[in-house]
């Protein structure tokens, strides 16, 4: 693949267990406050400075910012180009569902490391689905959250046009 050739990450090439590289992010007071502002959450627990900053919690929905899915990185790490990024006949792999599980709070000053991997692939009524799991742990190696994110990699013939 060193010659610049793209190998498409089609459903048939996706394998359970394929993993992406880790991603690490320090949770800062500014990150929490900015996320709250963008989410239009005026709760002062997320937006005001406090002497107890190390106890300040991140909003639960921040998990998608703190531990992003990074499908393209999983594809690349396994020698493929994600379908959204191929140079010819690119296509989306639409979102189908998501389930999040939290295990511990995330605080300002935590350092969160996450990675994504493939946990399932199914064919239902001719549609091809892939489920990714993103797992996130803090600096103490305590799992704080995980989420499963399912995409439709390919529609059954006759159900959806790529045009």
Does 33 have pLDDT greater than 80? Answer: yes
Q: Examine residue 163 and state whether it is found in any structural domain, yes or no.
A: no
Q: What is the pLDDT of residues 101-131, one digit of tens each?
A: 999 999 999 999 999 999 999 999 999 999 9
pTM listed for this prediction: 0.87
Express as a percent the part of the chain with pLDDT over 70. 90
For position 52, what pLDDT does the model report? 53
44: in domain? yes
First to last CA, the chain: 29
Measure Cα distances from 58 to 35, 51, 110, 130 in Å: 9, 16, 10, 29
State how many domains the chain has: 1
CATH of the domain at 87: 3.10.129.10
Is residue 4 a part of any domain in this protein?
A: no
Tell me which of 162 and 153 has the higher pLDDT: 153
In a domain, 48, yes or no: yes
């Amino acid at each position: 693949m060193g010659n610049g050739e793209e190998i498409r990450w089609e459903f048939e090439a996706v394998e359970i267990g394929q993993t992406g590289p880790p991603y690490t992010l320090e949770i800062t007071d500014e990150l929490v406050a900015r996320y709250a502002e963008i989410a239009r959450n005026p709760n002062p627990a997320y937006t005001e400075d406090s002497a107890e900053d190390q106890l300040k919690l991140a909003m639960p929905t921040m998990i998608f910012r703190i531990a992003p899915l990074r499908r393209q990185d999983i594809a690349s790490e396994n020698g493929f180009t994600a379908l959204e990024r191929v140079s010819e006949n690119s296509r989306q792999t639409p979102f189908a569902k998501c389930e999040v599980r939290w295990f511990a709070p995330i605080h300002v000053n935590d350092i969160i490391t996450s990675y994504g991997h493939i946990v399932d692939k199914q064919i239902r009524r001719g549609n091809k689905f892939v489920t990714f799991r993103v797992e996130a742990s803090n600096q103490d190696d305590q799992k704080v959250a995980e989420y499963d994110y399912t995409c439709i990699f390919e529609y059954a013939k006759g159900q959806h046009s790529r045009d």
